[in-house]
Chains A and B, each alone.
Chain A
Amino acid sequence: MLASIKSEFRKLITVRSTYILSGIALAYMIFYNFYIVGFRVGHHLIYSPSNPHYLMVEVSRAGSIAAPILLSSIIAVLLMAHEYRYNTIMYTLTNSNSRNKSLFAKVVAVTGLTIVFALIVEILSPLLALFGAHVDHLHLAHQIFYYRNFFGRVMFYSWAYGMIGLLLVVLFRNIVASIVALFFIPVTIEPLIGLLLSDHMKQYLPFTALTNVLNNGLLVNVPGQLSAVRSAITVVVYLVIGWVIAWILFLRRDAS
């Protein structure tokens, strides 16, 4: 089991795409947090620099978090999709005596990857924003930052996005279909379904709920809005259902 997990991490660190996507994520974080939130502070944003929650609100926005996390999810997709694309899945499955172990090792590797990504985002985002403000000689009011709250939300968001990415590959077994689905479902399919639902019910759609984990109840609870915890539970329910189906298919289907 440990051998399979070690091997999955080795797969992650020995392909170029991991470094390219991580580099893009880093560049985006620098651009958004350093330049938009810090350096160009006040020009574009709703919260004023004089607000003590400015930093907390701005670095918790989906604009700050979603893009780098989405890129980590693509790395997770590639970890599995490359196996099908290059047919190395035959080695993965014959080197292990159980398909359960092989898939579990992937889940562990993606969990590790998304936790590392989340930690980098959590640490760098506020620091870059502060550094940007400093470079611009802008004085923020004394900031109140709820670290535990922020870390928990980003960590869950990152992990759940990675699990969704991996789930899509286990279902589709195709690199293009999985990445298209990862982009297409949240920006097209879900909003279309949302048009048929009430504002309250919309909150139970998977990607809407996932975004709500980042923002809902950040400073105050809005009546009628699902809390971050309830949104997270909604996402977990979708993940459990999706993964039960995907896991069974992985065990029963031919390898490619």
Chain B
Amino acid sequence: MIKVSNLSKKFRGTVAVDDLSFSVETGKVTGFLGPNGAGKSTTMRLMLGLDKGTGTATYDGKLLHEYEIPSKVVGILLEAKAYHTTRSARNHLKILATEGCVPIKRVDEDLDIVGLSDVAKKAPGKFSLGMSQRLGIAAAILANPKYLILDEPANGLDPEGIVWMREFLKSYADAGNAVFVSSHLLSEMAQMADNVVVIGKGKIIANTSISKLISGNAKSSVYVRSSNLTKLQKLLEAKSFDALSKDSGLEVSGADTDQVGKIAFDGGITVLELSPKHASLEDVFLELTEGTEQFKAQEVKDKK
């Protein structure tokens, strides 16, 4: 298990990471979410000792520098294009293999795993972002470490690549390892992660399983379309349900489909459509991180 305790970091008086504590369990994929500038990358760098701050990150109870060969404990991908642009992909990995005391023959196996065997001798300067991410993954798993720390590994991947990444990381965790991954692709995270750590302005906002996060932080609703929306809205409000007009129908909060169907039936109203609407990870994320964004764009005005 990776245990992060009281990590903090200031940049010229500005608090980037504020007393973060959480753990990353083995056998699971743990997602790391937060708006831009929330401190995700800084947290990962602190966990690896790349940035100097306060607090500790232990891997199975030991600090990373207490291991003889840290790369056999944790594999990292913090930046997709972290390679010399004119050094071939194979040579890039050979250097990492030499540093990490990994047999050189592992390099070709590794390139095969990520699907870059055909371009092994090419300089990665002209690689697409997706190919760079694959090379980054290859670097991370080169020494077959127990822990993976990945910062936005799905950026730039095509749909096939995203599916491959998801399945790969899930299987890597299933093999008894732990994957700690940040991403802005929330639908992807919802499918991939078991647990999630959400931060905003450097502080922990949530640290739980995905299912608990969604069920505990966002209300489910029901969408209904009927022959007489006005009458149905009045009947629902009479039963203390919030019913708001939406897309030629009503969005009813705090009710389930059975309740809405029964109220419509009792009122003699024909129901044209009735469907439950579950909160998504995106809904929960936006709700949780409201007000913690460092860079907030102007809202898009509805033209209707």
Chain A residues in the interface with B (C-beta under 8 A): 3-4, 6-7, 10-11, 14-17, 82, 86-88, 90-98, 252-256
Contact = CB atoms under 8 A, between A and B. Distances in A.
A92 B99 contact: yes
B88 A14 contact: yes
Interface string B59-71: 0000011111111
B51 interface: yes
B101 interface: yes
Nearest to A92: B99
Contact of B48 (A7, A16, A94): A94
A57 B180 CA distance: 64
A250 to B, nearest CB: 12
Interface stretch (B76-84, B166-174, B223-231, B249-257): B76-84
Interface stretch (B89-97, B152-160, B279-287): B89-97
B60 to A, nearest CB: 15
A252 B91 CA distance: 30
A6 B91 CA distance: 13
Given A15-B84, A15-B86, A97-B70, A90 B99 contact: no
A256 B51 CA distance: 8
30 contacts: A3-B101, A7-B96, A7-B98, A7-B99, A10-B94, A14-B94, A15-B86, A16-B86, A17-B86, A82-B84, A86-B84, A86-B85, A87-B81, A88-B83, A88-B84, A90-B82, A91-B96, A91-B139, A92-B99, A93-B49, A94-B50, A94-B71, A95-B71, A95-B96, A95-B99, A95-B100, A96-B70, A97-B68, A97-B70, A255-B50
Contacts of A7: 95-96, 98-99
Contacts of A17: 86
B54 to A, nearest CB: 13
Interface in B70-124: 70-71, 74, 76, 78-79, 81-88, 91, 94-96, 98-101
B64 A94 contact: yes
A17 B85 CA distance: 11
A97 B69 contact: yes
Nearest to B79: A87
Contacts of B48: 90, 93-94
Given A94-B49, A94-B76, A254-B51, A88 B98 contact: no
Q: 5 closest pairs, A vs B, by CB?
A: A95-B99, A255-B50, A7-B98, A7-B99, A14-B91
Contact of B50 (A10, A88, A93, A96): A93
B45 interface: yes
B111 to A, nearest CB: 16
B47 to A, nearest CB: 10
Contacts of B70: 94-97
A100 to B, nearest CB: 11
B143 to A, nearest CB: 9
B66 A97 contact: yes
B50 A90 contact: yes
B82 A86 contact: yes
Nearest to B52: A254
A254 B81 CA distance: 19
A17 B125 CA distance: 14
B49, B52, B69, B99: most-surrounded residue (chain A CB, <10 A) = B99
Given A11-B95, A253-B52, A255-B45, A94 B101 contact: no
Nearest to A251: B52
Contacts of B95: 7, 10-11, 14
Given A86-B84, A95-B71, A254 B99 contact: no
Nearest to B44: A90
Nearest to B88: A14
Nearest to B91: A14
A4, A15, A97: most-surrounded residue (chain B CB, <10 A) = A97
A21 to B, nearest CB: 13
Contacts of A96: 70, 99
Given A90-B79, A93-B50, 7 more contacts: A7-B95, A14-B95, A86-B85, A88-B82, A91-B96, A91-B139, A95-B100
Contacts of A256: 50
A15 B139 CA distance: 18
A92 B92 CA distance: 12
A4 B69 CA distance: 11
Contacts of B52: 252-254
Contacts of A14: 87-88, 91, 94-95
Contacts of B87: 14-15
A98 B65 CA distance: 6
B107 to A, nearest CB: 12
Nearest to B140: A91
Given A3-B100, A14-B88, A252-B52, A97 B67 contact: yes
